[in-house]
Structure 1
Amino acid sequence: MDFESIQSAFTPTPDQTSCFSKGGMVSSAFPAASKAGALMLKKGGNAADAACATALALSVGEPQASGLGGQSMVLLHLNGQTLALDGSGPIPALAKPDKFGPNDTKVGYRATTVPTTPAVLAFMHKKYGKLTLEQVISPAIELAKEGYTITPLQSFLQKRELENFFLPENPSAARYFLKNGNTPYEPGEIFCQPHLAGLLEHLAQNGLESFYQGEIAQAIDRDMRQNKGFLRAEDLAETPWPKIRKPVTGSFRGIELVSTPPPTSGRILLFILKLLEAMPPEFHLPLTEKSMAYFCEVMRKGLMEREEHPYWPDQYDQEKDPVLSSPELPQKISRWILSRKTPDMSFSEPGWQGGETTHLSVMDNEGNAVGLTQSVNLVYASKTACEGLGFLYNNYLLDTQDHTPGHPNYRAPGGMAWSSVAATMAMVEGKPWLVTGSPGSERIISALARFFLYLADGGLSIARAQAQPRIHCATNRTVSLEAGGFKDELVQGLAHQGYTLDQRRPRSFYLGAVHTVLRQLDGKGFQGAAEFRRDGIAAGPDQV
């Protein structure tokens, strides 16, 4: 990987989707959230402080993607150590397998797992932060009180999801997130959240962990009982701190990579990169019909590996994981793919194709870095919100299964949803050179794989690598790609080989949204790139 070429190709832009700063950097999907994190760096906070402030502001300014009712996964490099925080949300004790109706896991009060985002942020701030909680949470409170301008993307999503807002018997999310409880906001209109501001003020005074006890837990319990949901105060009281886990490690084109372990999909990203590395660089760029088909088959192999070999997180050992520990396996699979005249026609049902998430990346000038991915699952989640508190309940029970008892993602009390999260750091001499990640359900993995391909084989800047057209292949050979992003003959070549085409609009947020921060190896500053398919910016202490 040509570090100098990648770094020198970077150019800041007036809209701050590409940004340079000397004292650290934050990249996220909402401008006020990036500025909240950058402000923490300016106040003397570290990457953990900045990540918490950014995540809390995203919970206000990007409610379609994340919030206090969701879950968070984190990859951290702090004080010379790299670790992962597993914020998997437990399935409530009352959510027995035989208690669900046909639509209960998608919309409504029964769809939620125990929220973990407040616990994850509380743990990270208490253990690693430097600033006070009041400082870290203040930008989110102000944003909820004063409001923000609805973006074209948010207006589009509200219109797209309008019917779904009214599927639950109690359309509580519609009351909180639609204008007058029934109409999508138009771009440019101001959206305020006074109830959420009140909740955030309570958390600022009593600690983020107070979400799980006392009057907050009782309010959630009461709301759930009234609406036939499963979540109870007892579930909240038993919510543990996030588990500290050992990240998975690998390499691509000679650079060391660190990513999030099970229950997330960092191991699948590293496996896919191993398969791609088994081919020479010139095979991938410029794109050819053969290289696109190869990428599609590599994606299918990775996703099928995840489905066929799930791991209980507490029992996972990378040294015993053949897809990461065997040097011969990637070469063997690559040769097999290339030997096929047509794609592997074995059929597999695709994993869930929805999913809405957000990712933020942070670096400070002390050598620390954080990649944090948080989500409420679907766009506007379960379409239900807690009365009086103003946050959305997640619908992570959708990402569980009900046919294999003993499976890590079996829908039963204490179980967990599967996760496609794959926050990743590239390391140079044991220090983070860049931190990146993406939302997008299983498209997270394809978006990040393409990003690293364009960095390593194209020598592109982080911003240009993120901007390249996206392609994803599900296990059933459905290829999703951005319309107009690829030559017609390449697209038609995939169709002729038996793939089903799913052409998405240009700049489609469906295919992921990569947010990256890079530390220049000359020590002169940081580069940040926010995904132009979303609404965010990159910002450092120089910009606030």
Structure 2
Amino acid sequence: MKSLQFSSKRMCVYARRGMVTTGNALASSAGIRMLEKGGNAVDAAIACAAVLCVVEPTANGLGSDNFALIWNKDRLYGMNSSGRSPALFSKEAVQAKHGKDTETMPVSGWTPVTVPGAVAGWVSMHEKFGSLPFEQVLEPAISYAENGFPIGQETARMWNKGYEKAKKNWKGSEYDGYFETFGCTVKPGQIIAEKSIAQALRDIAGTRGKSLYEGRLAARIDEESRKHGGFVRKEDLAAHKVQWVDPVSIGYKGYEVWEIPPNGQGITALMALNTIKHFPYDKHVHIEAIKQAFANAKAYITDPDWMKTDYHALLSESFGAHCASRIDLNQAKEHGPSDPACSGTVYLCAADQYGNMVSMIQSNYMGFGSGIMVDGVSLQNRGADFSLSEEDINFAGPNKRTYHTIIPGFITKDGKAFAAFGVMGGYMQPQGHVQVVTNMIDRHMDIQSALDAPRWMWDRNNVVHVEPGMGEETVAWLRAKGHTVVIENEYSLFGRGQIIVRMENGVYCGACEPRTDSNIACC
């Protein structure tokens, strides 16, 4: 493990006609190629997302979920393409397979596999907003998978960490597909080809995604699931539907911060910001606010079809004030949920010459996901977040979307698009959103500095991890308030993000994360 080091300050990048920023130079380049061919921001975003499935398999794949916030013609749209649990999935089914005393969901293998939504998300976005042919948008990803690509430095590090973990924990023939494709150590710059992913992408491109949900790939997933005692069936895949949703927001000091509504945890970031806005900038307050937000998220958030609370109530001014009133400015404390009635992953953003912007996030989970790879499709393990306790709102059940960690962000000002942004990294994501937004708005940092700034991550109880650059004085101040501060050298714990801002003159300003192989491409 190594500390985050900056040899020199990165600078913001400016462009007039278009901009794409992702965690990989090849993906960003693919997006810009779509813009140069006459495509729009959605074409660029889909091209980037497909390439990232190839060049960053440590975080996402064709069996991922995705979410997007899309600014198109002066309106913000929300896309939720997270998959549901299989119809055969239940607490009883899990315990029948893993033992009657099983109290928590397995995190690998076929049991936590939910329906993959990412490809359907690409298709739906393309149908609604795309301009180039769908097959053309997927061409760069197919080429890199078929002909090979040089692996990035941070991706190689995460690949090798994942492989070492897999060798120790993933036993049995159900993991053969993973080891056939990813079962080796790699070096930065090494050329990697992924023939099975290339073929899967060809099938997806030629059928506009139907192969994965109704055709050859669906049949193969069904076959392998039955063979290894999984719950997913071809009927589950065929039943998947992308949801176009109304984004949710809170006003924050002259700006409007937007997220996708539940089942995603974007509302967690909004709840924290809705509390924080009652105070001057204060890291202690921010940590206490995020604790409360997570407590409320755990208590109330799941698939909206199963929620007992209107999630809009969690974002009311009165509820934000109530949460603010519970914060002790001098002492860290544990926070339980309030009653609102009383008061792993890749991110990308793209912008085009017409003012359209896309904030998009896509992920398996926990690195290589479930460890299940079927004919080039690496399946996510999102079901690992279901609870096997009937008292929990996110209780395991059939045809249900679990509480979901991945969240794209967007900011508007005076009714106009201001910024597409995101921070990857499991339960770090809402914490990263809070820190980036407050760095930009409260601390008046430029967007590169807002990403570069040392971060904290609340873990549990009063335990907070901080990056080494946080500073001894700040660490001592937090400890004096009762926080158990752990200085953490593993920078991947603190998330990875990108931002594109649209300036008043129409010029785009972009910044990318120093904690990954980030890249900005412009035209």
Q: TM-score by structure 1 length?
A: 0.86
Correspondent of 2:383 among 376, 397, 407: 397
Corresponding residue of 1:298 = 289
Looking at structure 2, the residues matched to 531 and 52 of structure 1 have their Cα atoms a distance apart, in angstroms, of: 20
Q: CA deviation at 1:333?
A: 3.3
1:215 matched to 2:216: yes
Q: CA deviation at 1:492?
A: 3.1
Q: CA deviation at 1:80?
A: 2.7
Looking at structure 2, the residues matched to 358 and 342 of structure 1 have their Cα atoms a distance apart, in angstroms, of: 36
Deviation by residue 1:472-520 (Cα, 9 ceiling, x = unmatched): 213422202112x1221321333344333332216x1221112111112
> CA, structure 1 residues 375+468, in 2 after alignment: closer, same or farther (shift >3 Å)?
same
Structure 1's unaligned 5+ residue stretches are 1-12, 285-290, 349-355
Q: Which amino acid aligns with 1:158?
A: W
- Decide whether the 8 Å contact of 1:347 with 1:476 is kept in 2: no
- Decide whether the 8 Å contact of 2:105 with 2:386 is kept in 1: no
Looking at structure 1, the residues matched to 388 and 105 of structure 2 have their Cα atoms a distance apart, in angstroms, of: 13
Deviation by residue 1:46-88 (Cα, 9 ceiling, x = unmatched): 1111111111111111111111111011111223321211112
Corresponding residue of 1:190 = 191
Corresponding residue of 1:342 = 331
> CA, structure 1 residues 77+161, in 2 after alignment: closer, same or farther (shift >3 Å)?
same
> CA, structure 1 residues 296+405, in 2 after alignment: closer, same or farther (shift >3 Å)?
closer
Q: Which amino acid aligns with 1:118?
A: V
Corresponding residue of 2:513 = 531
Correspondent of 1:519 among 488, 496, 502: 502
Q: CA deviation at 1:155?
A: 2.6
Corresponding residue of 1:500 = 484
Three-state SS of the structure 2 residue aligned to 1:404 is coil
- Decide whether the 8 Å contact of 1:435 with 1:517 is kept in 2: yes
Structure 2's unaligned 5+ residue stretches are 1-6, 338-343
305-314 vs 367-376, which moves further: 305-314
Deviation by residue 1:437-475 (Cα, 9 ceiling, x = unmatched): 121112111111111111112222111111101112134
Corresponding residue of 1:277 = 277
Q: CA deviation at 1:226?
A: 2.2
- Decide whether the 8 Å contact of 2:113 with 2:379 is kept in 1: yes
Three-state SS of the structure 2 residue aligned to 1:69 is coil
Written as runs of structure 1 = structure 2, the 5 A alignment for 1:172-251 is: 172-178=176-182, 181=183, 183-240=184-241, 242-251=242-251
Looking at structure 2, the residues matched to 94 and 30 of structure 1 have their Cα atoms a distance apart, in angstroms, of: 38
Looking at structure 1, the residues matched to 470 and 8 of structure 2 have their Cα atoms a distance apart, in angstroms, of: 28
Looking at structure 2, the residues matched to 154 and 221 of structure 1 have their Cα atoms a distance apart, in angstroms, of: 30
Looking at structure 1, the residues matched to 407 and 239 of structure 2 have their Cα atoms a distance apart, in angstroms, of: 27
> CA, structure 1 residues 266+425, in 2 after alignment: closer, same or farther (shift >3 Å)?
same
> CA, structure 1 residues 378+406, in 2 after alignment: closer, same or farther (shift >3 Å)?
closer
1:159 matched to 2:160: yes
Q: Which amino acid aligns with 1:413?
A: P
> CA, structure 1 residues 520+347, in 2 after alignment: closer, same or farther (shift >3 Å)?
closer
Correspondent of 1:330 among 312, 316, 320: 320
Q: Which amino acid aligns with 1:503?
A: I
Three-state SS of the structure 1 residue aligned to 2:154 is helix
Corresponding residue of 2:107 = 106
Q: Which amino acid aligns with 1:128?
A: F
- Decide whether the 8 Å contact of 1:19 with 1:539 is kept in 2: no
Q: Which amino acid aligns with 1:337?
A: I
Correspondent of 1:81 among 75, 78, 90: 75
Three-state SS of the structure 2 residue aligned to 1:436 is strand
> CA, structure 1 residues 511+519, in 2 after alignment: closer, same or farther (shift >3 Å)?
same
Written as runs of structure 1 = structure 2, the 5 A alignment for 1:144-155 is: 144-155=145-156
1:132 matched to 2:133: yes
Q: TM-score by structure 2 length?
A: 0.90
Correspondent of 2:373 among 380, 385, 389: 385
1:364 matched to 2:365: no
Corresponding residue of 2:410 = 425
> CA, structure 1 residues 346+426, in 2 after alignment: closer, same or farther (shift >3 Å)?
closer
- Decide whether the 8 Å contact of 1:448 with 1:514 is kept in 2: no
